[in-house]
Structure 1
Amino acid sequence: MDKIDRMRAFALVAQNASFTIAAQRMGRSARLVSKYVADLEGALGVQLLNRTTRSVSLTDAGATYLSLCAPLLEGFDELEERVRNEQASLRGAIHISAPTGFGSVRLAPSLARFAEKHPHVELDLRFSDRRVSIVEEGIDLAIRIGPLRDSSLKLRQLGRMPLVVCASPEYLQRVGRPERPSDLSAHECILDGNMTEPTVWRFAVDGQEEAVQVNGRFRMNAPAGSARLAAAGAAIARCPAYTVSEALKSGDLVELFPRNRVAPYVVAALFPQNRRLTTRVRALIDHLAGDAALCTDAA
């Protein structure tokens, strides 16, 4: 039995916590994948996985073995890819994580353009508004917007995305329009649960950054949801420009304090420091960095 197949089976089971998913990704039966892992454990003389009828998890020895074998598998894949394919004929899967709204509105069209150029590349898109663990969930590339907290990851900046404070005409007519950023403390604001300081909004005022304390009954972890809630007249929202550009054009939302925008958020591609980037992932990052439509401020 091929040792690489056994290592790959183990790594896929560990990364997906599932024999079924690992079997699907290898194109083998779940029974054969289970045999691969059992034979690997037998050859090593240690248990790598804890198995129950409902879950699969790593043992301490399994975690150590995964950290050592994963780079070897990635290096082997890159070696095969470089020998077998030219840059214009990329092959293989890329597992991508991105925020739901940005992924649907901006990233998906860009990925469609990339896929058209590279018909043999498979794109596994995982849109979520929670912060996924790239290493633990087997992600090749994560797209993130805003403050980047994980220093263990490498990143490449793809563009910049302004934050827009806005409200519906109905809300402004009903409650009154705030004249300056500090007036927001007396208004109903939608708090972003993804932010480290959801009740503090920052503005550029007279050449300096001003922090405004805001409050509100609504807390959201999805910017697109905040934009729709604001358009419904419920409260004032602070959202990335891509989520409100159409509503601003239609008049469903009105931007407040456009001259007081703070520095835009960074849109970045993140990947593990200790992982060699395959040719196909490097090609995708280059494509995203060069795609002007990805981060255009249409607001």
Structure 2
Amino acid sequence: MDTIAGMRVFMAVASHASFTDGARQVGISTKLASKYIGQLEQRLNAQLLHRTTRSVTLTETGKAYFERCLPLLEQFDELEGLVQKRQTELAGRIRITAPTGYGSAELVHLLKPFQDEHPGVLIELHLSDHHVSLVDEGFDLAIRFGVLKDSSLVARKLTDMRIVCCVAPDYLDRMGPLETPEDLSQHNCLLQTTGNVIDSWDFKTSDGKLSVPVSGNFRANSPRAVANMAADGLGIGRVPLYTAKPFLAEGRLKLILESYEARVLGLYATYPPNRHLTARIRALIDYLVTALAHS
């Protein structure tokens, strides 16, 4: 068994806490994955994994080995890429996790020109509205909105996203116009439940910050769901601008209360502080910053 191959299998199995899923990731059988890790443990004279019929977990030695394997494998991949390709070309895999709505509607379109320019880069995009552990799941980057909850991560701001109020034109035809944030108390407001405060919306006025109580007959944990319901005429939504954009372009939504907008949501590329950023990952982050600055 090649040591590098054994390390790759170990990383995959440990990341998934499963021989079956880990073996699938590297494209081998579960039996062969078990054999590789057994040979690796024998070579190291140390147990790396606790195995039961229901779970696979890292031993203390395994945790230390896992943390050191990751940057070594990344540097090895980069070295291979430099040998196999011209130095000016980028090659290798980048695993990214991103929010479902933003990833499927915006990020994929940003990634295409990068991959057109660097066809040797393989991007694996995992969409989830739950924050996953970058180290445990083996991700290189996380694209995330808002204040970072995990202070152990390094973050680079990519852009700021406006938080906008939007409504279908026919709703306004039925219910009448809104001229000030206070008018929202007379309207059906569609609420997003992922924030800390969902029953009031913040605005700015000449007198400072204004918090307006809001209520309505629809709530969702997805800004896309709120935008869809607003576009269907149910009520007024407050969502990140990217979520409303397709409906604005079609004329199904219009922006309201723009002069009162008080919030922007930071978009960040995050990664573990001990992660060796390969040339391809650094290039992708730099590209996203530039692309979003001109979008």
TM-score surpassing 0.5?
yes
1:103 aligns with 2:103: yes
Q: CA deviation at 1:35?
A: 1.0
User: Residue type of the partner of 1:230?
Assistant: A
Specify the alignment match of 1:262 in structure 2. Answer: 262
Q: Any stretches of 5+ residues in structure 1 without a counterpart?
A: none
Which region of structure 1 is more displaced relative to structure 2, 143-152 or 230-239? 143-152
TM-score by length of 1: 0.87
Separation of aligned partners in 2, 1:207 and 1:127: 41
Separation of aligned partners in 1, 2:207 and 2:148: 25
User: Residue type of the partner of 1:23?
Assistant: A
User: Residue type of the partner of 1:69?
Assistant: C
Separation of aligned partners in 2, 1:139 and 1:222: 23
Specify the alignment match of 2:69 in structure 1. Answer: 69
Q: Is the 8 A contact 1:163 1:265 kept in 2?
A: yes
Separation of aligned partners in 2, 1:163 and 1:131: 21
Q: CA deviation at 1:177?
A: 3.5
Structure 1's 84 and 244: CA in aligned 2 closer, same or farther, altered over 3 A?
A: same
Separation of aligned partners in 2, 1:138 and 1:151: 18
Separation of aligned partners in 2, 1:186 and 1:62: 59
Separation of aligned partners in 1, 2:131 and 2:143: 10
TM-score by length of 2: 0.88
Separation of aligned partners in 1, 2:72 and 2:57: 21
Q: CA deviation at 1:166?
A: 1.2
1:189 aligns with 2:154: no
Specify the alignment match of 1:166 in structure 2. Answer: 166
User: Residue type of the partner of 1:108?
Assistant: V
Specify the alignment match of 1:34 in structure 2. Answer: 34
User: Residue type of the partner of 1:281?
Assistant: I
Separation of aligned partners in 2, 1:254 and 1:188: 16
3-state DSSP of counterpart to 2:137? coil
Structure 1's 109 and 13: CA in aligned 2 closer, same or farther, altered over 3 A?
A: same
Structure 1's 57 and 220: CA in aligned 2 closer, same or farther, altered over 3 A?
A: farther
3-state DSSP of counterpart to 1:135? helix
Which region of structure 1 is more displaced relative to structure 2, 129-138 or 14-23? 14-23
1:1-299 aligned within 5 A: 1-53=1-53, 55-206=55-206, 208-292=208-292, 296=295
Q: CA deviation at 1:87?
A: 4.7
Query: Could you report, residue by residue, the CA deviation over 1:193-242 in whole angstroms, capped at 9, with x for unpaired residues?
Result: 32222233221111622222323342222211110011112222111111
Separation of aligned partners in 1, 2:67 and 2:23: 21
Q: Any stretches of 5+ residues in structure 2 without a counterpart?
A: none
Structure 1's 136 and 200: CA in aligned 2 closer, same or farther, altered over 3 A?
A: farther
Identity of paired residues, percent?
45
Q: CA deviation at 1:55?
A: 4.1
Separation of aligned partners in 1, 2:63 and 2:33: 18
Structure 1's 197 and 15: CA in aligned 2 closer, same or farther, altered over 3 A?
A: same
Which region of structure 1 is more displaced relative to structure 2, 156-165 or 175-184? 175-184
